[in-house]
């Protein structure tokens, strides 16, 4: 297997088996043999020769034609042997049901899987709880408990916890759900999506109201303008990409086993709608490998599709499931999800622009072929092994088609497996044609360039360090006019492509995909809310099953990467002078608020003068000790910053979400640390929750005119931020932040 420098790093850091000291004890080739041999053992169940299939399984991975999802690569042939990436766990409307789901989540995430939940069955906030004659706290409050639990679990020792939280648009708490992630740090281990219905969209188009329904009683409790809710969804997506939309009626329209149940949720990146307690095994074909002499080799592709379907069906048998319910439901439907990666590379090789009708037509032709051949391969397996147990009563049975797997195709995220395969991710455009990376093992800096584009530059005699440095400034070549226009037309990056083409590409692949498509609709920083609205409406009209939007630079956690000249303009090397805080007034007025933390009661005193907050005192209920000194320090630093005209919103964002081992609860709200408690008290104070007169957050005086200049020039050129593990670029694509240097992922 020919590995790039980045692939070597990812394999060593995340995939290869290690000894007790963390040293790899297998090579990449040995890893692939381990996986191939383990999966091929399933052939014994059907009287077949294991070696006959282990060899081609190994070869297609070694040649980087196909890669299974990460848990299969990590765990096949090991004691853990949990091979699935995606799970959906039901959340029932009872305290037992909620905490059963929490327990199930812990088991799944410990084994290396991501979890999806619909919280739509939970009664709304303020509804009656008959057993205690109390009132319900609502879905969002329980989501925070799931979030806190996920924070403490690292999936299988290798993968981070990831969740999808779904709420139906008809739930009475839908507004609270939509706005839950408007504050940085809240539900940080969740992607959230609103399950929107056809009824909702009909009301939206007619500018009418629609029903909010209490799931406990089934009664309509309120009618609300659809436009109001849609605008909130658009606002959230514009602000920070949350929430996404799931078109739940379109999903259930294509549910292959409606007699078994309705689909209510998806896995964390949205590409796999699943029934409760169902899992799915995914894998992706590197389609760029099948370009031979400027054409797609369809016969070769057919051969690999058939082999992949057999491989993924074998995975179901060799899987060790974290829960009995999941094993039963997975084996009853035997869903698999074969998808693609390297799509952008394929277009580069064929000299077809991503944003063109020709690319859309080819996408439909390619995915139609893969889906058709995967169905045929599954039908052949049914002749050999039998249909899936829930076949009777399914859509397939009604069509008279005997098939082994209820579904066969999914376009999944391929963040790290595409690194191993040395190709572009999924069906996304390329993130950047070239950028500078730092090798996390030895600290060496180097330029990484798309290999297809590298060959083009060499043919043009433009391949040199100066050109690479210019491209790496923004990742794009659209402003580099020494490169011919016809080359710039083909080699476009994600932000060079209009959002409409992103949506159309997703819809083209969705048209011939059994499950769903993981894709991010990337928008530039200056995209408007109207642009976001148009993308959602177009996706609905074109038959997508969901949509994720990300506007460049819209997340506080994103560290900006801009051109060097712009950096120097915004942050001059000479200091602009230090700011002296205004003196502490002789008389202040305020109040002290108590909040509960894991370290005990925390008392936050907020005093104001005529300019705003003048000082903050923070004291733990227990005196003395390191914790008490730390909280005193927080108060002193906040006081100095606030008297220096630092926007309190910025200070709150810095403190909020900081976690310590001792988590507390204050009136049902999770307090993750003393710093988090201070931030939440300060935030509530500024919102006026502790007093009648509120403070105008936007009335804070600016530091200098220079600060305003910085604000006006707040622009970004690249989509991602900085990886917290290796310091390289994070890419936002396929519904998640991913580092293509070390394999770090926010979602997996």
Enzyme catalytic residues: 267, 269, 271
How many angstroms separate the CA atoms of 94 and 98, rounded? Answer: 6
Helix (H) or strand (E) holding 708: helix 705-712
Residue 69 — φ and ψ, nearest 5°?
-65, 160
Please say whether the dihedral angle defined by the alpha carbons of residues 665, 131, 213 and 263, taken in this order, is positive or negative.
positive
Give CA separation, 634 vs 424, 652, 657, 675, in Å: 45, 12, 15, 7
How far apart, in whole angstroms, are the C-alpha atoms of residue 105 and residue 126? 26
Residues 114, 163 contacting (CB under 8 angstroms)? yes
Cβ atoms of residues 737 and 552 within 8 Å: no
Q: Is the dihedral of CA 451, 453, 459, 460 positive or negative?
A: negative
In Å, the largest CA–CA distance within the chain is 88
Which residues are paired to 244 by β-bridges?
A: 193
Task: Give pairs for 630-635: CB < 8 Å, separation 24+.
Answer: 630/674, 631/602, 631/674, 631/678, 634/674, 634/675, 634/678, 635/604, 635/678
- Specify whether the CB–CB gap between 128 and 157 falls below 8 A: no
Q: Which residue has the tokens 């593990």?
A: 725
Whether residue 272 contacts residue 516, with contact meaning beta carbons closer than 8 Å, is answered with yes
Q: Tokens 């849609």 correspond to what residue? A: 230
Burial class (CB in 10 A: 0-12, 13-18, 19+), 55: middle
Q: Classify 49 in phi/psi space as left (phi over 0), alpha (psi -120 to 50) or beta.
A: beta
């Amino acid at each position: 297997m020919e590995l790039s420098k980045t692939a070597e790093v990812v394999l060593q850091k995340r995939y290869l088996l290690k000894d007790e000291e963390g040293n790899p004890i297998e090579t990449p080739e040995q890893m692939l043999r381990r996986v191939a041999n383990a999966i091929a053992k399933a052939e014994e169940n059907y009287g077949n020769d294991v070696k006959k299939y282990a060899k081609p399984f190994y070869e297609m991975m070694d040649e980087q034609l196909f890669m299974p999802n990460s848990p299969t690569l990590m765990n096949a042939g090991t004691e853990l042997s949990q091979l699935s990436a995606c799970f959906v766990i039901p959340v029932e409307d009872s305290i037992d049901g909620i905490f059963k789901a929490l327990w199930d989540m812990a088991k799944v995430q410990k084994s290396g899987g991501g979890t999806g939940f619909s919280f739509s069955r939970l009664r709304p906030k303020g509804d009656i709880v008959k057993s205690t004659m109390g009132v319900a706290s609502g879905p969002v409050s329980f989501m925070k408990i799931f979030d806190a639990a996920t924070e403490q679990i690292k999936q299988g020792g290798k993968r981070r916890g990831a969740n999808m939280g779904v709420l139906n648009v008809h739930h009475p708490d839908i507004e609270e759900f939509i706005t839950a992630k408007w504050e940085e740090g809240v539900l940080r281990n969740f992607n959230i999506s609103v399950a929107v219905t056809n009824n909702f969209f009909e009301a939206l188009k007619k500018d009418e109201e629609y029903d909010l329904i209490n799931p406990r009683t089934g009664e309509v409790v309120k009618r609300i303008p659809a436009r109001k809710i849609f605008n909130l969804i658009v606002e959230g997506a514009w602000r920070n990409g949350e929430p996404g939309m799931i078109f739940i009626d379109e999903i259930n329209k294509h549910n292959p086993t409606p007699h078994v149940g309705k689909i209510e949720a998806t896995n964390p990146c949205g590409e796999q709608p699943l029934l409760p307690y169902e899992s799915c095994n995914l894998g992706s074909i590197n389609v760029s490998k099948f370009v031979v002499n400027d054409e797609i080799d369809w016969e070769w592709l057919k051969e690999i599709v058939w082999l992949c379907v057999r491989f993924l069906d074998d995975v179901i048998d060799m899987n060790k499931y974290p829960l009995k319910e999941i094993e039963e439901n997975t084996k009853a439907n035997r869903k698999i999800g074969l998808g693609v990666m390297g799509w952008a590379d394929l277009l580069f090789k064929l000299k077809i622009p991503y944003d063109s009708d020709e690319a859309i037509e080819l996408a439909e032709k390619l995915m139609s072929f893969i889906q058709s051949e995967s169905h045929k391969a599954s039908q052949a397996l049914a002749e050999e092994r039998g249909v899936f147990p829930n076949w009777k009563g399914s859509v397939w049975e009604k069509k008279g088609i005997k098939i082994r797997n209820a579904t066969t195709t999914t376009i999944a995220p391929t963040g790290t497996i595409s690194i191993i395969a040395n190709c572009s991710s999924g069906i996304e455009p390329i993130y950047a044609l070239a950028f500078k990376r730092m090798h996390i093992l030895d600290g060496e800096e180097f330029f990484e360039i798309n290999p297809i584009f590298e060959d083009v530059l060499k043919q043009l005699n433009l391949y040199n360090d100066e050109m690479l440095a210019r491209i790496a400034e923004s990742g794009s070549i659209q402003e580099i006019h020494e490169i011919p226009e016809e080359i710039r037309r083909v080699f476009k990056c994600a932000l060079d492509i209009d959002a409409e083409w992103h949506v159309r590409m997703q819809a083209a692949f969705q048209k011939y995909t059994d499950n769903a498509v993981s894709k991010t609709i990337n928008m530039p920083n200056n995209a408007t809310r109207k642009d976001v609205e148009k993308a959602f409406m177009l996706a609905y009209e074109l038959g997508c099953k969901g949509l994720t939007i990300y506007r460049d630079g819209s997340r506080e956690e994103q560290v900006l990467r801009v051109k060097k000249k712009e950096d120097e303009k915004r942050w001059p090397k000479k200091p602009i002078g230090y700011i002296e805080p205004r003196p502490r007034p002789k008389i202040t007025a305020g109040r002290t608020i108590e909040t509960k933390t894991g370290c005990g009661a925390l008392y936050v005193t907020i005093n104001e003068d005529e300019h705003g907050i003048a000082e903050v005192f923070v004291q733990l209920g227990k005196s003395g000790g390191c914790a008490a000194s730390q909280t005193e320090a927080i108060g002193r630093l906040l006081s100095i910053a606030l008297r220096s005209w630092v926007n309190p919103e910025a200070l709150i964002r810095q403190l909020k979400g900081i976690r310590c081992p001792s988590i507390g609860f204050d009136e049902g709200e999770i307090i993750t640390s003393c710093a988090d408690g201070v931030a939440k008290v300060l935030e509530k104070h500024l919102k006026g929750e502790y007093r009648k007169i509120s403070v105008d957050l936007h009335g804070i005086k600016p530091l200098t005119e220079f600060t305003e200049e910085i604000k006006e020039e707040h622009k970004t050129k690249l989509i991602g931020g900085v990886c917290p593990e290796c310091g390289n670029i994070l890419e936002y694509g396929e519904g998640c932040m991913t580092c293509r240097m070390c394999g770090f992922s926010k979602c997996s």
